[in-house]
Amino acid sequence: MVVNKTEHWDEVPAVWNRRHLLGLEELSAKEITLILDQAEHFRSILTRGDRKIPLLNGKTCVNLFFENSTRTRVSFGLAVRRLGADVIEFAASTSSIAKGESIIDTAKNIEAMQIDCVIVRHHCPGAPKFLAENLSCSVLNAGDGPHEHPTQGLLDILTIRRHFGTLEGLTVALVGDIAHSRTARSNIWGLKKLGANVIVCGPSTLVSTHWEEIGVEYCYHLDKILDRADVFNLLRIQFERQVTRPFPSIAEYAHLYGMNGNRMRRTKENVLIIAPGPINRGVEITPEVADGPHSAILEQVTNGVAVRMAVLWLTLAR
Ligand code: CP
């Protein structure tokens, strides 16, 4: 395909000067908006016949995943290929990590094969930053423990912006396991920077009041905020990151915090329901809500490919 030189991907804008994407906390509103705008251009390509745009020909990325993933891994892999680059898949469970090799030795050996970008998911908060400080190639955070999941935050925000046209003045409720959710943290940073009001809601054992310091509201009762939010982002309970059970039973959690048909009837008329996935049907969301007319859950997944294409292009094209 011949790339049209007047297109939006002609040159990386000067506002972007980063090699890595480690989190949304460190990005400015301008940088976040640039990624969203660029993702919007790539989004239009995803629905046409020829979905490839070879802007990163000759580059090689590695999907370095130390935790399970469906959406993020496939989406990054697809985004790399759509841009004409090569992607190498690495699964920790079948690698020499099992023989005791450290993450840094693993990463340095992979980089020595002339890799341009490492896309890393790891259970330790800060693992992507550690790699960024020790490698010469670009590092993209695909989720580091409960710390951040920047591309998930970006695709959530892009999905909201596509529905409402702006983030300014919208009220977005993040419901569920705020304490262990990297998605919640990336949402909070990104949404606040773009002018949205954010409410974090869940059991008191999973919702800290410290977010008040940056203007985030907290609430322990979903029923009290049903008619206030324009968007509900329904988060999974991250049992794998918890050492004690934060509530008596899953049934009780679903009763108090699950989004169901009855609760939907008390929300705003044009309310948007999103969820990062994987969803647990019958816990944080019932099937009628997940598959209902207000749900943008699968749309989020489509937007995720565009967001990751934008991030790859911005960090690797210059
Ligand atoms: N939302 C998300 O990160 O999903 P995966 O764990 O399947 O990548």
In whole angstroms, what separates CA 122 from the centre of its chain?
14
Instruction: Retrieve residue 303's tokens.
Output: 């937007």
Ligand 1 touching residue 301 (CB < 6 A): no
Nearest CA to ligand 1 atom 6: 69
* Cα gap 159→296, rounded to integer Å: 8
Q: How many CB atoms lie within 10 A of CB 154?
A: 27
How far is the centre of ligand 1, averaged over its atoms, from the C-alpha of 175 (Å)?
Answer: 17
Domains and CATH numbers, the chain: 29-148+303-316 (3.40.50.1370), 150-300 (3.40.50.1370)
What phi and psi values does residue 241 have, to the nearest 5 degrees?
-105, 5
Is 60 strand, coil or helix?
strand
Q: Confidence band (pLDDT; 50, 70, 90) for 67?
A: very high
Q: Residue 249's pLDDT band (boundaries 50, 70, 90)?
A: confident
CA-proximal residue: ligand 1, atom 4 (nearest): 71
DSSP annotation of 156:
H
Q: Is there a cis peptide before residue 150, judged by omega within 30 degrees of 0? A: no
CB of 141 within 6 A of ligand 1: the answer is no
Which residue's CA lies nearest to atom 3 of ligand 1? 72
Q: Over the stretch 14-62, which tens digit does the pLDDT of each residue have? A: 999 999 999 999 999 999 999 999 999 999 998 887 888 999 999 999 9
Return the percentage of the chain with pLDDT > 90, whole number.
87
Predicted pLDDT at 6: 54
- Residue 247 and residue 245: Cα distance in Å, rounded? 6
What is the pLDDT at residue 82?
96
Provide the token pair at 79.
């985004």
CA separation for the pair 283, 256 (Å, rounded): 10
The whole-number pLDDT of residue 240 equals 76
pLDDT digits (tens, 9 = 90+) for 161-212: 999 999 999 999 999 999 999 999 999 999 999 999 999 999 999 998 999 9
Query: What gap in Å lies between CA 316 and CA 318, rounded to an integer?
Result: 6
Determine what percent of the chain is predicted with pLDDT higher than 70.
97
Q: What is the DSSP letter of 295?
A: B
Write the DSSP symbol of residue 102.
-
Whether 140 contacts 110, CB under 8 Å: no
Q: Are 80 and 87 in contact (CB under 8 A)?
A: yes
Q: Is 151 in the pocket of ligand 1 (CB under 6 A)?
A: no
Confidence of residue 3 (pLDDT cuts 50, 70, 90): low
List CB contacts of 146: < 8 A, sequence separation 6 or more: 125, 179, 180, 181, 182, 185, 238, 241
Q: pTM (2 decimals)?
A: 0.95
